[in-house]
Amino acid sequence: MPYLFTSESVSEGHPDKVADQISDALIDHFLAFDKDSKVACETLVTTGQVVLAGEVKSNTYLDVQQIARDTINKIGYTKSAYMFDGNSCGVISAIHEQSPDINRGVDKVNREEQGAGDQGMMFGYATNETENYMPLALDLSHKIMLELAALRRENKEITYLRPDSKSQVTIEYSDDHVPQRIEAIVVSTQHDEFVLPRSKSAADVDAAEKEMVAKINKDIKEILIPRLIAKLPEHIQVLFNDDIKYHINPTGKFVIGGPHGDTGLTGRKIIVDTYGGKGAHGGGAFSGKDPSKVDRSAAYATRHIAKNLVAAGVCEQVLVQVSYAIGVAEPMGVFIDTYGTCPFNMTDGEIAEKVSKIFNMKPAAIEDRLKLRNPIYSETAAYGHMGRKNEVVKKTFSQVNGEDLTVDVELFTWEKLDYVDKIKAEFGL
């Protein structure tokens, strides 16, 4: 019997994502000026306030307050009407030095034997149902948010948008797990109060709100969705139909939003960041952590493995798990689940054994293979860490003394299909 599956995404202006982006902006600045920096930085944002807390070991000094303000302004919180903007918010820093008890287990004389920054298990997932090997419901949810952000920045076709928004997509699958159609789309977007009531009477207030919601509903369906569909491959376009249930700002007007409407914290959108509920998640957040923290680096490494396995034809979808003990370089083990989609006679355990031969999963090896000691993390902090475009970009960072550093960095290295040939050779494909 067909079944439904749902995933959600949130915009860069969502308060939790604001926190993630500030934390990762700090990571990038530390790594830009000291590649050996060890950082674990948490951010809290609320009405008119930013609180930075965490542990750092680095040879560089940063103006963390200015980095936070620049990040907030870049997102789009630039007006006092939002009750949270980069120029006027308070920024409190409670960042201190990293515990030597933790650091002694990570730093080793022989860098190749660098220990894991913490214990835990990390998961990577890939499926062939989309071109970027991501689950379709999450991929479409991200794309809706990206298109809405583009419309907000263009400020032409839709002129009332504010930074905070959320999306959700429900897909109907067949019994053999093939997407059949889109069942429902949810979009909630913060907006200006662009229709004012004629008076303070309840009737006039209600009429103004209904007029705004009707306009937003019309614009999402007639401007955003067609722009989205036009950018999708044909086999995904056909999943859109006239029977889709749309829920646009279903609770009514959404003027009060962002950190003023909801407190934001680093690391509260880990399912949005990964696979939208498909596969599994080990529970560790990514943003604000340097790559010695395997919560982040090993999650990227397992995604890299999963994507290359599917692309090589080993399976149609796969879940890859790796686990670590703090201070120990060798992982506790590698687990593979192909969900019965391996087309040849090989068990998941046998596949895991071959994967362990192909991929060195020691933390230092992961850092080197995926170039994780570069300032590449700000781009990961909104619209998902997985399924993104691998590309080289130029980035500029400013020091406290006013000097700038410009570097070329390769983003989303874990999305490269650079191990397909090695996998095919090992599996005899």
Feature table: binding site: 14, 16, 42, 55, 98, 164-166, 253-254, 262, 268-269, 285, 289, 293
How far is residue 417's CA from residue 406's CA, in Å, rounded to a whole number? 28
Q: Which residues are annotated as a binding site for Mg(2+)?
A: 16
- Using CB atoms within 10 Å of the CB of residue 232, give its burial: 0 to 12 exposed, 13 to 18 middle, 19+ buried: middle
Tokens describing residue 333? 């083990």
> For residue 379, what are the β-bridge partners?
none
Count the neighbouring beta carbons within 10 Å of the beta carbon of residue 153: 11
User: Edge to edge, what strands does the sheet with 3-10 contain?
Assistant: 3-10, 161-173, 179-191, 245-248
Candidates 65, 74, 59; CA nearest to 26 is 65
Query: What is the residue type of 275?
Result: Y
Which parts of 76-119 fold into alpha helices (H)? 100-106
Tally of residues, the chain? 429
Candidates 283, 298, 279, 282; CA nearest to 338 is 279
Tokens describing residue 86? 């980069």
Q: Which residues are annotated as a binding site for K(+)?
A: 42
Candidates 309, 300, 358; CA nearest to 127 is 309
Candidates 427, 315, 296; CA nearest to 372 is 296
How far is residue 201's CA from residue 34's CA, in Å, rounded to a whole number? 60
Count the neighbouring beta carbons within 10 Å of the beta carbon of residue 47: 15
Residue 352's contacts (CB-CB under 8 Å, 6 or more residues apart) are: 334, 335, 336
Instruction: Specify the residue for token string 């722009």.
Output: 227
Q: Which residues are annotated as a binding site for ATP?
A: 14, 164-166, 253-254, 262, 268-269, 285, 289
Query: What is the residue type of 36?
Result: D
Q: Which residues are annotated as a binding site for L-methionine?
A: 55, 98, 262, 293
